[in-house]
């Protein structure tokens, strides 16, 4: 055996420098990435977001220049989030014609070639921070033992009232020029409601990217600094998915597909790559994954301590999301990664 070096299988043959690229199974391009942009109607100047180094809330007057910075890196698409001038229980500023996202969208689409996606939800617009107007919760069992002391058990989001608001939001975004509408509230029936409203108003060409499998995740923490959208009480577990559930994601996504979703999103990304992978197998639609603020912040924090090489781990993270089956990735690393191409 000592002299027998004739190994039939040597995978290392294909790992040599000049062949690696040819046999690489997954690629990552700036055109795969969507950069989130925060537009703040209450700001007069750019405000850094402490928990998301390198990101800022920008005033409406800076929305175009912010998007131009993104485009210069090679990233072609942005997702707009808005912080409104005022909040109320119903989140009415979310569909105002002169609302923050509507105004920013008009300027960005008039002055740049960016592909503009808009987040359609109410949590940044309601004074209680939930994703829709509230109602008294109907409980099937008054003696339920799963009472959660952290939750105000008498209030929850009114699903069907929220659908009406989402219809108005989507149409207002489309009228402002949004290229794609992305409902993120995990309301039952939201995709169908928005599809119907867009079609009625002549926006049948505007696609919907549904946050189809959005989990109730602790990884959203830094985003809540950025978008000022933390719920004032309780949490979002009554509408966002339980992190324990994988089969339920298939069911959620099937419903969105039936209602006409064009792109299916999983959020967060890295802790849910199994979901990305199973959706890739089950559906032919493009799959998006949202590499969320917590995934971004933890790599930044570790690199600030000198524990990780930021550029390398950012790229490896995004590559792994693509390898799992995502076609497009929303990520706060979009510009950093694209710049290195």
Tell me if 132 contacts Zn ion by CB under 5 A: no
Which residue number, 71 or 193, has a Cβ lying nearer to Zn ion? 193
Catalytic residue among 87, 168, 267, 322: 267
Footprint of Zn ion on 14-43 (CB under 5 A): none
Binning the chain into helix, strand and coil, the percentages to the nearest 5 are 40, 20, 40
Which residue number, 75 or 121, has a Cβ lying nearer to Zn ion? 121
Site string for Zn ion, 45-64 (x = CB under 5 A): --------------------
Check if the beta carbon of residue 192 is closer than 8 Å to that of residue 183: no
Part of the chain binding Zn ion (CB under 5 A), chosen from 17-25, 61-69, 74-82, 116-124: 116-124
- Beta carbon of residue 54, minimum distance to Zn ion (angstroms, whole number): 24
CA distances (Å), 230 to each of 4, 112, 293, in order? 65, 31, 14
Pick the binder of Zn ion from 79, 131, 314, 338 (CB under 5 A). 131
Give the C-alpha separation, 61 to 65, whole Å. 8
Which residue number, 71 or 182, has a Cβ lying nearer to Zn ion? 182
Strand pairing class (56-58; 47-48): antiparallel
**Could you tell me how far CA 111 lies from the centroid of its own chain?**
24
- Sorted by sequence, the CB contacts under 8 Å of residue 43 that are 6+ apart come out as 57, 58, 59, 83
- Sorted by sequence, the CB contacts under 8 Å of residue 67 that are 6+ apart come out as 37, 78, 108, 112, 114
Q: Mark whether 305 is an active-site residue.
A: no
Catalytic residue among 87, 214, 305, 322: 214
- Beta carbon of residue 288, minimum distance to Zn ion (angstroms, whole number): 17
Which residue number, 64 or 101, has a Cβ lying nearer to Zn ion? 101
Pick the binder of Zn ion from 96, 114, 116, 121 (CB under 5 A). 121
Half-sphere exposure of 268 (CA within 13 A, CB side): 21
Q: Residues binding Zn ion: what is the number (CB under 5 A)?
A: 4
Question: Residue 250 has which token pair?
Answer: 């298939």
Burial of 18 (0-12, 13-18, 19+ CB in 10 A): exposed
Footprint of Zn ion on 171-190 (CB under 5 A): 185
The helix (H) or strand (E) run that includes residue 71 is helix 63-72
Collapsed DSSP state (helix, strand, coil) of residue 289: strand
- Beta carbon of residue 66, minimum distance to Zn ion (angstroms, whole number): 22
Which residue number, 131 or 326, has a Cβ lying nearer to Zn ion? 131
Pick the binder of Zn ion from 37, 52, 60, 123 (CB under 5 A). 123
Which residue number, 93 or 300, has a Cβ lying nearer to Zn ion? 93
Torsion angle of the four alpha carbons 118, 271, 339, 55, in this order, in degrees rounded to the nearest 10 = 60
Question: Residue 8 has which token pair?
Answer: 């039939």
- Beta carbon of residue 236, minimum distance to Zn ion (angstroms, whole number): 7
Part of the chain binding Zn ion (CB under 5 A), chosen from 43-51, 82-90, 127-135, 187-195: 127-135
**12: preceding bond cis by omega (within 30 degrees):** no
Which residue number, 183 or 325, has a Cβ lying nearer to Zn ion? 183
Q: Mark whether 214 is an active-site residue.
A: yes
> Any idea what DSSP says for residue 79?
E
Residues in contact with Zn ion by the rule CB under 5 A: 121, 123, 131, 185
Active site residues: 214, 267
């Amino acid at each position: 055996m000592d002299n027998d070096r004739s190994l039939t299988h040597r995978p290392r043959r294909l790992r040599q420098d000049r062949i690696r690229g040819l046999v690489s199974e997954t690629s990552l391009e700036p055109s795969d990435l969507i950069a989130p942009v925060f537009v703040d109607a209450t700001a007069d100047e750019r405000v850094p977001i402490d928990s998301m180094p390198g990101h800022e809330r920008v005033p409406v007057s800076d929305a175009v220049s912010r998007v131009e910075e993104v485009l210069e890196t090679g990233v072609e698409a942005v997702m707009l989030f808005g912080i409104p001038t005022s909040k109320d229980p119903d989140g009415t500023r979310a569909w105002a014609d002169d609302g923050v996202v509507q105004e920013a969208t008009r300027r960005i689409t008039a002055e740049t070639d960016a592909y503009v996606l808009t987040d359609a939800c109410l949590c940044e617009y309601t004074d209680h921070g939930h994703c829709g107007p509230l109602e008294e919760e109907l409980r099937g069992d008054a003696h339920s033992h799963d009472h959660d002391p952290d939750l105000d058990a008498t209030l929850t989001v009114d699903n069907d009232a929220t659908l009406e608001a989402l219809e108005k939001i989507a149409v207002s975004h489309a009228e402002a020029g949004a290229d794609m509408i992305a409902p993120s509230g995990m309301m039952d029936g939201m995709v169908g409601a928005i599809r119907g409203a867009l079609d009625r108003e002549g926006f049948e060409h505007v696609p919907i990217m549904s946050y189809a499998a959005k989990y109730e995740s602790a990884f959203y923490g830094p985003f809540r600094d950025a978008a000022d959208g933390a719920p004032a009480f309780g949490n979002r577990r009554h509408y966002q998915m339980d992190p324990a559930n994988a089969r339920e994601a298939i069911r959620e996504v099937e419903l969105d597909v039936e209602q006409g979703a064009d792109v299916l999103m999983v959020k967060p990304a890295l802790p849910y790559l199994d979901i990305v992978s199973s959706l890739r197998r089950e559906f032919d639609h493009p799959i998006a994954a949202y590499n969320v603020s917590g995934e971004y912040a933890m790599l930044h924090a570790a690199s600030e301590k000198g524990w990780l090489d930021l550029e390398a781990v950012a790229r490896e993270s995004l590559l792994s999301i693509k390898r799992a089956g995502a076609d497009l990735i929303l990520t706060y690393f979009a510009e950093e990664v694209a710049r290195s191409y």
